[in-house]
Structure 1
Amino acid sequence: MDSAASEKSIIALDHWLQSPAGAYVRAWEQSCLDELTADIFGFNAIQIGLPQIDALAANRMPNKWQAATRTSTVDELAITHGKQVAVALDFADLPFASQSLDLVVLPHVLEFAAEPHQVLREVERVLIPEGQVIICGFNPASMWGVRQGVGKITRSDYLPAAGEFISLPRLKDWLKLLNLGESRSHFGCYAPPFRTEQWLDRFSVMESAGQKWWPYLGAVYIVHAIKRVKGMRLIGPAWNKKPTKAAQTVPAANRNERVK
């Protein structure tokens, strides 16, 4: 998939997200992202793609940006969301310094990117040690994934046709190679692949049933990962350290001599 095709596929996703099924996905992802990002702290965070969702709405970092592929989208974001906007015309070459971001959110970017591996490499580059990345994707191992597979044969796609959906095990392998350790995975949207809001609402009971009985078969997944750097570990401030046992057992006379 070249960059032009990638651009067209992202536009197709934009249109699909306005459908009843798209609204269903957006509502679940917004709720899950709000919960995930609320307690992630730092200074700099960026959401790449999918401007229909404000993935950083619940996050309290002082600097938050939205990266988009089209200037028109960026202008709309500046007006509607009133937040800082950074234009990233190529997600595979992010205009940020290495180890400068605390959080990166990728909602449905990898499956519509021309070079998903390169996008992940760029994310790893710009994240600080222990920085965090959150990835949203469509799950091929779901009723929606099966419906999409049948649709490619019958030419009646349910999801955007240009998307190359990535299985969760495959994504975990990619993350592991980049020392991005998975923290937790979340699945949602268990209703069958209906096209109308009425039928999607009728099967809303499947959301709780799916979480309980077939949790890995949700139509959408969200993966939360942390950048691990070998040989590094976080330590607390020096004043939190208690005196060692050896120091506490030094005789008083010896301590006085040491002062002299």
Structure 2
Amino acid sequence: MSGENYKLHHWFGTPPGRYLLAWEQERYDELVADIFGYHALQLGMPGLQALRANRMPHRWLALGADEAQGVPPAEGAADQGVPPALLAEAVALPFAEASLDLVALPHTLELSVDPHAALREVYRVLVPEGRTVISGLNPWSLWGLRQGRARLYQRLGGGGQPYLPDVGEFISPGRLRDWLRLLGFELETISFGCYRPAATKERWLQRHAWMESLGARWWPILGAGYVIVAAKRVPGMRLLEPSWRKAPRTAGAQVQVARRH
């Protein structure tokens, strides 16, 4: 499999990766439970069951060619996910236009060669009013700050190991929101989470569990992870009024009727 896929999936086996994955699983379970339809697709991340709480009769997991070659298991994870049903790349989905009701993208855009093209494909295959649920790593967070500092040290020739997987530039929620609006999506909800500091050990993450409620209240947009729900909006047709309805009407004149006495 490609190096970027390996780095990301291997990182999800670390203590901070499992912590983020558990939070995302809760959000997906909550958000997809009340999305109805017939066909749902999860693209990428077999270790996360994004559709398990959804009740659509047809649900599939699709993986890219590189990702399907062998995803390293998440260490200590109780649930390794479900086997893929098909191979599909995010930029070229093998589905007809307006054929899916729900598409889940757990960290899919971060690994895509062209995330904007992937979103266009999602818009194409979704039915009108269909939903997409997208999760990603927030560069504007304590974790992202440590990642940026480590990259700066590396550029200056110093040491420093990146805290997050080095898979390229993460997409900020604001940037993703602009892309969605440009393509015709309407943002419905956005959730932030994982406010604990950038620690690598399990015990340090547990010691700072109190920061979850504090962060959600005082700096909610600075969570390490985010999940966005967006709906595909299609402008409705406007019926034009026939021209004969707009023609001026002839005013009726009163006519005197002669009466016989």
Q: TM-score range by the shorter chain?
A: 0.7 to 0.9
Q: State the AA in 2 paired with 1:205.
A: W
**Shift of residue 190, structure 1, vs aligned partner:** 0.2
The equivalent of 1:191 in structure 2 is: 196
Cα gap change, 1:166 to 1:49, in 2 (>3 Å): same
Deviation string 1:215-236 (CA, Å, 9 cap, x unpaired) is 1110001010000001169xxx
The answer (yes or no) to whether the contact 1:152–1:161 under 8 Å persists in 2 is: no
Identity of aligned residues (%): 50
* Higher deviation after alignment, 150-159 or 167-176: 150-159
Q: Tell me, what secondary structure is at the counterpart of 1:22?
A: helix
Q: State the AA in 2 paired with 1:68.
A: L
Normalised by the length of structure 1, the TM-score is 0.82
The equivalent of 1:65 in structure 2 is: 60
The equivalent of 1:144 in structure 2 is: 143
Relative to total residues, which structure has the larger helix share, 1 or 2?
1
The equivalent of 2:209 in structure 1 is: 204
The answer (yes or no) to whether the contact 1:92–1:118 under 8 Å persists in 2 is: yes
- 150, 165, 176: which one pairs with 1:171? 176
Q: Which runs of 5+ in 1 are unaligned?
A: 234-260
Q: Does residue 48 of structure 1 match 2:47?
A: no
Q: Tell me, what secondary structure is at the counterpart of 1:45?
A: strand
Q: Tell me, what secondary structure is at the counterpart of 1:57?
A: coil
**Shift of residue 163, structure 1, vs aligned partner:** 2.9
The equivalent of 1:37 in structure 2 is: 32
User: Displaced runs of 4+ in structure 1, greater than 2 A?
Assistant: 70-74, 80-84
Cα gap change, 1:41 to 1:73, in 2 (>3 Å): farther
**Shift of residue 73, structure 1, vs aligned partner:** 4.7
The answer (yes or no) to whether the contact 1:65–1:85 under 8 Å persists in 2 is: yes
Q: Tell me, what secondary structure is at the counterpart of 2:60?
A: strand
Q: Does residue 106 of structure 1 match 2:105?
A: yes
After superposition, the CA RMSD in angstroms is 1.9
Q: Tell me, what secondary structure is at the counterpart of 1:221?
A: strand
Give matches, 1:1-260, under 5 Å. 7-69=2-64, 70-73=67-70, 85-88=85-88, 90-155=89-154, 156-231=161-236
Q: Tell me, what secondary structure is at the counterpart of 1:149?
A: helix
What count of residue pairs does the alignment treat as equivalent?
Answer: 223
The equivalent of 2:255 in structure 1 is: none
Q: State the AA in 2 paired with 1:173.
A: D
Which structure would you say has the larger Rg?
A: 2
Normalised by the length of structure 2, the TM-score is 0.81
Q: Tell me, what secondary structure is at the counterpart of 1:195?
A: coil
